[in-house]
Amino acid sequence: MAISTKIIDTAIVPGNRRQTVSESTFDSSYAAEGEPGTAEELGLKRIIWAFALPIFPSESETVEFGFPVFVKKTDTTFVIQAFNYKTQKEIASTKNLEKVKVLIVAYGI
């Protein structure tokens, strides 16, 4: 697995929907087009929407990490893309982001 995720807040249940807050940590080799994840890793069966925020962006020692972007691929899969704060372009494949953490707020079922 390329990105490790742990739920840091319990699910809030408005009706049959859930909201979770998770913390994800990149690994030592960033994947081209983003690090993959699943709804299950976020404590959900299906993702309706989500967003990612940087927690420790300055922890990257090898890359000028600026911000993460949550990209929903299907109802059950997503990627977190990492962008360079200077160039505003996606960080190159295989760059070391192992100390970078992002917060994911997800809403789903």
Q: What is the pLDDT along the chain (109 residues), one digit of tens a residue?
A: 467 787 776 666 667 788 899 999 988 889 989 999 999 999 999 999 999 999 866 665 667 888 999 999 999 999 999 999 889 999 988 888 888 899 999 999 9
For residue 51, the enclosing domain spans: 3-108
Domains: count for the chain? 1
Q: What is the CATH number of the domain that holds 13?
A: 2.60.40
Give the phi and the psi of residue 40 in degrees, each rounded to 5: -60, -40
